[in-house]
Amino acid sequence: MSTSLERRTALKDNELAWYERMLEIREFERRTNELFAAGEIRGTTHLCVGEEALNLGLATVLNPDDVIAATYRSHGIALAFGISTHSVMAEIMGKSTGCAGGIGGSMHMCDSSVGVLPTSAIIGGGMPVATGAALAFQIQKKKNVAIAYFGDAATNIGAFHESMNLAAIWKLPVIFVINNNVYGEYTRIDLSTPIEDLHIRAESYAMPHTQVDGMDVYAVQKTMQEAIDRARRGDGPTLVEAKTYRFSGHSRADQALYRPEGELEHWSKRDPILVTEQALTKKGLLDDAKIAQLKEAAVATVEAAIVQAKSDPEPTLKDMFSNIYTSAKKVG
């Protein structure tokens, strides 16, 4: 089985692999939803259907030693960044083989080998953390960048404002990425936020900012690459607003009945899987047969992960008491 790092590196310059990973995420979320409904997953889940191109766009332009502080809506990020379907599914099922040993659950993905910091279930929780990671890179004179990844509605929390300002004044190599999927829980963004283009909030910090079509993996890559270059050059942070759409409900069993009529249909035409399919077909990398084959493969991959995760061992009571504190003193 390949490591997270290998799965990450496998994406390099391989457009078809991006598409396959997107299919994998999509299928993963479909099955997660089913398993939740069937009572095989407890707690809560936050699906990222519709955000796959953004997830892949990030994973493909960042280096594995760059880091991302993301949110509870974490499966797509985890899978795109390289964590295996099995390891993510096992985490969601609370198994000891999960990427956080079954201690974290759906909201808390983590893998240091590919720079996935523990995702936070607190709105705004990850933004200062990414800012601090970038501070470390700056001081260590590393060329790495840190990503703070969060939702549209999270731009109303105090930590957004404070982190943006701090990152700007210290010119830190951090990129704030808004996944604007139109909703915060059950509330459309326009009901909680008096502006339409969220990225203009960067003006308050004299920070470069831009908007990008989050349904188009190429567009995401291009925009992110500019921001990353700026950061690596030492020219400081950027705010990127990626326009996506949350095709699923907010969490658990939410049916999203509050959507205005026609909205879902409208966005369906921009479904990132579709958009990518079209692009790759045009480039001659895909045809209908291949699409069908890859979709089947994704189904099989996810199914295998589920089967394995189900039969995996539960964490032991000792696991519950591990990793609270680390060895008391630093080495050396």
Partner 1 sequence: MRFRQAIVAAMTDEMKADESVIFFGEDVAAAEGPFKTSEGLLDTFGPIRVRDTPISEMAFTGAAVGAAMMGMRPVIEIMFMEFLGVALDALVTEGAKMHYLSHGEYSVPMVVRASCGSGLGFGSQHSQTLENWVAATPGLKVVQPSDAQSAYSLLRASIQDNNPVMFLEPRILYAERGEVDTSLKMEIGKARLLQEGSDVTIVSLGNMVNIARDAIKESGISADLIDLATLVPWDREAVLKSVKKTARLIVVEESPWSGGWGSEIISYATSHAFSALKSAPFRITAPDVPVPYSGVLEARYIPTVPNVASAIKQAVSANEVPQPWWITEGVSK
Ligand X SMILES: Cc1ncc(C[n+]2csc(CCOP(=O)(O)OP(=O)(O)O)c2C)c(N)n1
Residues that bind a second copy (CB under 8 A): 156-162, 165, 168-169, 191-195, 200-201, 203-207
Q: Looking at residues 125 to 164 of the shown chain, list those that interact with Mg ion (rule: CB under 5 A).
A: 151-152
Question: Which range of residues in 24-32, 41-49, 208-216, 293-301 is near partner 1 by CB under 8 A?
Answer: 41-49
Q: Pick from 57, 105, 173, 237: which binds partner 1 (CB under 8 A)?
A: 105
Q: Please, which residue, 34 or 319, has the CB nearer to partner 1? A: 319
Q: Please, which residue, 118 or 237, has the CB nearer to a second copy? A: 237
Q: Please, which residue, 14 or 204, has the CB nearer to a second copy? A: 204
DSSP structure string for 129-194: HHHHHHHHHHHTT----EEEEEESGGGGSHHHHHHHHHHHHTT-SEEEEEEE-SEETTEEHHHH-S
**C-alpha to C-alpha distance for 106 and 112, rounded to whole angstroms:** 17
What does the chain come to in residues?
332
Helix (H) or strand (E) holding 209: strand 209-213
- Position 118 contacts Mg ion (CB under 5 A): no
| 316: its two tokens | 């032991």
| 102: its two tokens | 């079954």
Size of the site for ligand X (CB under 6 A): 16
Q: Pick from 8, 26, 73, 95: which binds partner 1 (CB under 8 A)?
A: 95
Q: Looking at residues 158 to 217 of the shown chain, list those that interact with Mg ion (rule: CB under 5 A).
A: 181, 183-184
- Position 60 contacts Mg ion (CB under 5 A): no
| Contact status, residue 238 vs residue 178, Cβ threshold 8 Å | no
Q: Please, which residue, 166 or 220, has the CB nearer to partner 1? A: 166
Size of the site for Mg ion (CB under 5 A): 5
Q: Cβ of residue 108: shortest distance to ligand X, in angstroms?
A: 12
- Position 77 contacts ligand X (CB under 6 A): no
Is 73 in a helix, a strand, or coil? coil
- Position 312 contacts Mg ion (CB under 5 A): no
Q: Pick from 83, 127, 153, 242: which binds ligand X (CB under 6 A)?
A: 153
| Contact status, residue 305 vs residue 36, Cβ threshold 8 Å | no
- Position 241 contacts partner 1 (CB under 8 A): no
Burial 207-218 (b: 16+ CB within 10 A, else e): bbbebbbbbbbb
- Position 117 contacts partner 1 (CB under 8 A): yes
Q: Give the list of residues 6+ apart from residue 276 with CB closer than 8 angstroms, or none.
A: 18, 19, 22, 53, 217
Which residue ranges make up the site for Mg ion (CB under 5 A)? 151-152, 181, 183-184
